[in-house]
Structure 1
Amino acid sequence: MAKYDQQWYRNFYGRYLTAFVMLMLVIVNVLFFICQIMYGDLLTDKGALDTYSVFSKDEWYRLITATFLHADISHLLSNMVGLFFIGGLIEISVGHLGFALVYLLSGIGGNVISILYEKMFMLDRYSIGASGGVYGLVGAVLVLSIYEKIRKVPDNEVGAPSSNLVYRGAFVVLFMVASGFAQQNINNAAHIGGLIIGMIVSFLLVLIKGKKIKPMEL
């Protein structure tokens, strides 16, 4: 049977249905967006990442709630596409808990780095979005790709990475960071912070889980 026949596509994309943590996070993000539409600016104002509110009003919950809010439908879709496809790969590879740790800690950690950056440079910005978590997943792909090459998974093994997977992962990281700086009103501190946190968490998962981590199939 040819690799890219109809059955292969069913099996390949059917795997994502087993990544139930990722699916639940997508659903939660969509539900939050529906609530944003229903309640106008109320939910957004209460949950967005706002440095002044975090430090002066002790509204630390914003570090979490901001990761589930989005500015518009295109903002939501772009992040959910990344969460679905990249998140599915990570969850299948490192497991449900490992994926949840990478995504949530990247999103929250990216926001922490963002407010510290703004505090240091006396900025007061207002930001929302799951991008920090998605950037963390991209960082995890890069770390896991490098790990798969280091442990020398044979190229002919089922699920083994292609020989240029590491370079592809590095390109994606550089492209996403560069595109962030090329656009206005983008919280690059949260993006880069999420990327770094995702790489750190995935590196720790490699140390803890070792060979229990499944090779990513792209």
Structure 2
Amino acid sequence: MNLGKTTIIGESLLENSRKNIEILPLIDNFFDDLEVDKKTVDEWSLVLFSIGIAHSVEERESGFVIVLESTEDNNRAAKEIIEYVEGIKAKSIYSKSQKKRDRKIFSIVTFLWFLFFIFFLLTETTENLFHWKYIGINSAFKVKQGEFWRIVTALFLHGDIAHFLGNMLVGFLSFSALSMYLGVGSSTLLFILSGSLGNYLNICFRNFHLSLGASTSIFGVIGVMIGLQFYREYRNRKWLMMTAMLIILALLGTAGENTDFGAHFFGMLSGVIFGIIYHAFDIKYGLRKPLFQTIFFISSFLIFSISWILSFFIIL
């Protein structure tokens, strides 16, 4: 059997065995769209060698051939090579699909960060009219008086443009990395939940403390990534390096005079807790499915919207 100038399985497959005749059409049809060269034949030779099939690779006028020493190995050799090539094709298809998915996620995350920027501009330009920071800042006294929504609204407020841009840089990197693994819906909900819990824990033992900014949630996302490192399926060198880099970047941004170290610490701690909880439910229910991603994203939007509605309701 020839493809161009390369014979895929050598002469021993051309024996007049009934089984050999049945397997040849399968190989022919399977390799119709495959370009075969010396490197490919050598790879197949390694496959046969690994399973103990005696053979040799020879170069002839018609091209390279794999010659089996025993005709009894014909079907087994053909089967192993077909499975090997099928595996490569499947991996290639998965890789293309994964790249397409990653590009889609990156586009969605970029759009979300654009909306975050628009919201920042809105709060800054209309502060005198709506008093966003007054009604939305995380106030220990106010939260303990029942205005619990402040632990959410404070995540979307910033002191100035420098504060906002610093958070957005590290936030974009960490949120994108987490979204590639868990999905945008899961990451958005974990962003809000870990940040909110971090804000709450940060004021539990304080009566007169004020804080705002997304850094609590950003440290929460990094905490989720750390929490997931306890499990083998999430553990890989790239993600470990990404997590380490994000921690360094985040810590570089904590040198300011008004830095709330408590919020950062409790945000990361909350993230670790939610990361462990998420994994437990993901194993049982498959939380990365599209249905759950949609539910999580809608839930995140509702938490954001209801929290701000309650904030405005108080001043009416």
Superposition TM-score, scaled by structure 1 size = 0.71
Match of 1:67 in 2: 155
Give 1:201's aligned amino acid.
Answer: F
Q: Percent identity between the aligned chains?
A: 23
Pairs within 5 Å for 1:160-175:
161-162=236-237, 165-166=239-240, 169-170=243-244, 172-173=246-247
Q: Of the two structures, which has the highest relative contact order with CA contacts closer than 8 Å and spacing of 6 or more?
A: 1
The answer to whether 1:94 aligns with 2:178 is no
Aligned mates of 2:215, 2:100 — CA distance in 1: 23
Distance 1:13 1:185, change over 3 A: farther
Aligned mates of 2:180, 2:234 — CA distance in 1: 19
Q: Secondary structure at the match of 1:118?
A: coil
> Contact conserved, 1:142 with 1:170, CA < 8 A, in 2?
no
Match of 1:84 in 2: 172
The answer to whether 1:43 aligns with 2:43 is no
1:33 to 90, 95, 120: 120
Pairs within 5 Å for 1:127-206:
127-147=211-231, 150-151=232-233, 161-162=236-237, 165-166=239-240, 169-170=243-244, 172-173=246-247, 176=250, 180=254, 182-206=255-279
> Contact conserved, 1:71 with 1:128, CA < 8 A, in 2?
yes
> Contact conserved, 1:118 with 1:125, CA < 8 A, in 2?
yes
Greater mean deviation of Cα atoms: 19-28 or 110-119: 19-28
2:209 to 107, 125, 129: 125
Number of residue pairs matched by the alignment: 188
Aligned mates of 2:245, 2:124 — CA distance in 1: 36
Superposition TM-score, scaled by structure 2 size = 0.51
Q: Deviations over 1:109-149 (max 9, x none)?
A: 11101111323xxxx222110011100111122233442xx
Aligned mates of 1:83, 1:167 — CA distance in 2: 16
Structure 2: gaps of 5 or more residues: 1-97, 289-316
Q: Deviations over 1:30-50 (max 9, x none)?
A: 232112222235111111111
Larger Rg: 2
The structure that is strand-richer by fraction is: 2
Aligned mates of 1:168, 1:189 — CA distance in 2: 23
Give 1:193's aligned amino acid.
Answer: F
Give 1:195's aligned amino acid.
Answer: M
Distance 1:194 1:16, change over 3 A: farther
Give 2:158's aligned amino acid.
Answer: H
